[in-house]
Amino acid sequence: MTADADDLVVPAGATWADLGPPLRGLMTGARPRPVVVATSGSSGTPKRVRLPAAALRASGTGTAERLGGHGQWVLALPTHHVAGLQVLARSALAGTEPVELDAERPFTADALAAAVGRLDPGTRRYASLVPTQLHRALADPGGVAALQDLDAVLVGGAAADDALLARARAAGAHVVTTYGMSETCGGCVYDGVPLPGVRVEVTGEGRVRLGGPVLAEGYVDDPARTARSFVTDASGRWFLTEDRGVCREGRLTVRGRVDDVVVTGGHKVEPRDVETALRALPGVRDALVVGVPDAEWGQRVAALVALEGGSGSVTRHEAGAGADQHRGDPPTGEDLRAALRRSLPAYAVPRQVEVVDGIPALPTGKPDRAAARRLLDAGGRMESHLH
């Protein structure tokens, strides 16, 4: 499958002025044309996905039905990836115009508040954020007020920590978690429940597969990958994801990516469980856990940790390293490891912890695990440069 001359290819930096008119024709059926959008690249090199107009319309209609109606959106995400594109597509379907944050500036609570203030008070009002943006908004009174003024806040792009979601809901924000990817026109499972028409199954191997009217046609100029990822059987056409999950009573819980499980010394460790335990510790703002090759253990559990207020440096701590914490000082890597021993089995406690100013992320807001492994691997080889 190749891109046709009539395809709407979404370029980096595109705005509502660029994409609004063609998307309105596409979403209303006046001039349906496929849309080509790049994946986030979280599993390697970004791929180009071809989305039929009918799939985007089905996604937008299902979202409106789930949220209580069409409305006006805040655009806080890059439009050349599917989450930002969907804000524009839903706006086109609703006949509204999104309020755009300045894509050249970092996201701030003040910027969100200003954008929400420009929304039409006579319509339903929505925003789509990644967890990092939600965290920043909750840290500022103006950001909290802006979240409260929205009828719904979609949170996706990366797994949202339960504690973060609880804080948002306690603050009065109507947050809705989304699960999906470029190949499914973005989020197609909201708070664990599929949108209308979307089908969810978990294979015997624990892999999630998704079906229904929101599926992409496939990958541009990559027929082999299309054949591997989009499969058809007696029950219909499916997209085979790279995620593991469980589905009980119609509700999906995603456990993580297939290749994220860390096998260390014969034990399997779920990175998400360790990340949750780390984020629950005092002083920890965010955490990312990956497996790093290790001559003795096969893989070692390794963690990047961002502290509240920022650490101002990178600090390396491994098993056996000593650490004296002065009263009032931020926790060190060894402090965190010691605390984890009270809640995790010994084999799951990270053998390497790097305290960093921020968790590396892709433009979509998803954690950049490849960059995290490079940083952790460099920390292991360049100890003399860290303090």
Whole-Å CA distances, 190 to 59, 68, 139, 211, 307: 12, 13, 25, 15, 30
Q: Which CATH superfamily is domain 261-385 in?
A: ANL, C-terminal domain (3.30.300.30)
What are the DSSP E strand ranges found in 65-170?
Answer: 71-75, 99-100, 124-129, 152-155
pLDDT of 321: 41
Return the minimum-mean-pLDDT range out of 29-33, 90-94, 208-212: 29-33
Q: Which two tokens stand for residue 65?
A: 């039905």
Tens of pLDDT, residue by residue over 344-383, are 999 999 999 989 988 998 877 778 888 898 888 876 333 3
| CA–CA separation, 180 and 121 (whole Å) | 30
- pTM (two decimals): 0.78
**How many Å separate Cα 329 from the centre of its chain?**
32
Tens of pLDDT, residue by residue over 82-109, are 999 999 999 999 999 999 999 889 999 9
Domain with CATH 3.30.300.30 in the chain: 261-385
Domain with CATH 3.40.50.12780 in the chain: 8-254
Tens of pLDDT, residue by residue over 110-148, are 999 999 999 999 999 999 999 889 989 999 999 999 999
| Average pLDDT taken over every residue of the chain | 88
pLDDT of 324: 43
pLDDT of 328: 59
Q: 8-254: what CATH class?
A: alpha beta
Looking up tokens 């894509």, which residue turns up?
A: 103
Return the minimum-mean-pLDDT range out of 48-52, 94-98, 168-172, 321-325: 321-325
Q: For residues 147 and 327, which has the higher predicted lDDT (pLDDT)?
A: 147
